[in-house]
Amino acid sequence: MTKTLTSALALGLLSAPAFAGGLAMPVADPVAPTAPVAVAPAPVAVSDWTGFYAGGQLGYGETEADDDSFDDDGSVYGAQLGYDYDFGKLVLGGEISYAGAEIEDEATGNEIDGIAAAKLRAGYDAGAFLPYVTAGYASAYTADEIDGEDQFDGYVYGAGVDYKVTENVTVGAEVLKHEFEDLGDTDLDATTAAARISYRF
């Protein structure tokens, strides 16, 4: 009997490590690294200046004649209508405009009533900005006839910039140099600077 108890006790002691191992705390598997989530890039705003536009302008003008017969300054105001085509970075277009004027030489009484122009434009698409140069044909209209004429032809050139406030509304500024020859017995230069607003269709 004693021999049987001794054998059972020895068998129990030998089995203890195996049972103890079964009671050990489970080891958690290592967490697999999370794959990075791809984030789509924010859309880049693309500006397109192609289309018709129409608007108004308000500014200042001054004249200078080579014989001092027509030197004065005053306000200019008017309207413009044009079309641009955007080739990517290069923007080409054309514009017609008429600006009424209140420019009168007090010494002679000569007065410019308005200036009409037909111009070509070439600009650079800088997103919301469109800086450009322009040149074309111009006519000056006088309040009274000078040597039997009240319309005098010449040319115009200058530069400006437009800015898109919205996709359809632009504001801008433009400076133009007008040169009219044979305005009576004189040649006349006129410089205008105007703020502009247009609606683009």
Give the percent of the chain with pLDDT over 70: 76
Pick the CATH number of 51-200 from 1.20.950.20, 3.40.50.2300, 2.30.130.60, 2.40.160.20: 2.40.160.20
pLDDT, position 30: 58
> Please, what is the Cα angle at 66 between 61 and 68, to 5 degrees?
75
**Alpha-carbon distances, residue 152 vs 134, 147, 187 (angstroms):** 20, 11, 10
Q: Is the pLDDT of residue 166 over 70?
A: yes
Q: Is the pLDDT of residue 185 over 90?
A: no
Separation between Cα atoms, residue 55 and residue 92, nearest integer Å:
18
> Can you give the residue ranges of every domain in the chain?
51-200
pLDDT, position 11: 47
> pLDDT higher for 106 or 169?
169
